[in-house]
Amino acid sequence: MATLFVSAVVPVFGQGTLVIQHSGATDPVTEGFQNEGHGNGYAVINDMGVNAWVTPGISTNFPHYYYGLTPQQRAESAGAGWILSADLRITTTNSFPLFNLILEGYGGSYGLDFGSDSNGDQYVIYGSGRTDRATLPGSNYSNYQLIYNASADMVSLWVDGVEYANNIFTNQHETYLIDVQWGSGYNVGHNDLANWNLVSLEITPEPSTMALFGLGALILAARRIRGRH
């Protein structure tokens, strides 16, 4: 088990296409997600200065949200990079890791499981077999990102703006993305709570494509400057 101490600076990676996003205390159903669990989440305002959507992990109430990519979005994701992000905190102590964030692809699946230990420290479980674990001190909001670099065919885990691990999913190569899932998992029975401030999926262009975009912008700017003289 690894203990992770990180900064709170979240990186900004390129200009991609936002596929779907949950934000703050908004009901995810109104944002395009479907609730495929049993029970409902609820809003919390000014939780440690943050608004969030709460997903209980109780046998009679475990909301689980789903978004299926459109055919166009699936086509755009083929061969592209992507960033799967979540800002959340587990508010209960000794919480079984039943909260998850999952990205399904045709040929591959990527996910994170969240829980807390007896000290109330939050942890995330990751990797192909969901066997690797990173622990963060305290019960605070943290930003988790799975970032896929299509050129390197590699998925990295970033926590609060710091790369924690790379190449964490092996032999899982999706042809295109299918859906995003998050919330309370189906291994329930505990009175656990997770507060989600953000969930998002972004499709990102390849670095070479981004370089071409930058070059094109420079050429356009030069032409405009010449046109003023």
Q: Buried (b) or exposed (e) across 176-196, using 16+ Cβ within 10 A?
A: bbbbbbbbbbeebebebbbbb
For residue 190, give Cα distances in angstroms to 27, 56, 193, 220, 225: 23, 9, 9, 58, 64
Q: Given this model, what pLDDT does residue 13 score?
A: 43
Confidence band of 187 (pLDDT split at 50, 70, 90): low
pLDDT, residue 174, reads 80
| pTM (predicted TM-score) | 0.82
Tokens of 26: 């908004």
Give residue 180's pLDDT.
98
Cross-strand partners of 182: 65, 101
Residue 222 banded pLDDT, cuts 50, 70, 90: very low
pLDDT, one tens digit per residue, over 125-180 is 998 777 789 999 999 999 999 999 999 989 999 999 999 999 888 666 788 999 99
Q: Which residue has the tokens 């978004």?
A: 67
- Indicate the average pLDDT of the chain: 83
Specify the CATH number for the domain of residue 145: 2.60.120.200
> CB 94: neighbour CB atoms within 10 A?
13
Q: Which domain holds residue 96?
A: 2-6+15-228
Coarse DSSP helix, strand, coil percentages of the chain, rounded to the nearest 5 percent: 15, 50, 40
Residues 159, 146: contact at Cβ < 8 Å? no
Cβ contact 179:66 at 8 Å:
yes
Residue-wise pLDDT tens digits, 4-35: 433 333 344 446 899 999 999 999 999 999 99
- Cβ contact 168:132 at 8 Å: yes
Per-residue model confidence (pLDDT) at position 165: 93
- pLDDT at 188 (0 to 100): 60
Asked if pLDDT for residue 214 goes beyond 90, the answer is no
Q: Amino acid identity of 39? A: G
Alpha helices in the chain (DSSP H): 71-77, 207-228
> Contacts by 112-118 with C-beta closer than 8 Å and gap 24+?
112/86, 112/144, 112/146, 112/157, 113/185, 114/88, 114/90, 114/194, 115/90, 115/192, 116/90, 116/92, 117/93, 118/93, 118/94
Residues in the chain: 229
Residues 6+ apart with CB under 8 A from 220: none
Number of domains in the chain: 1
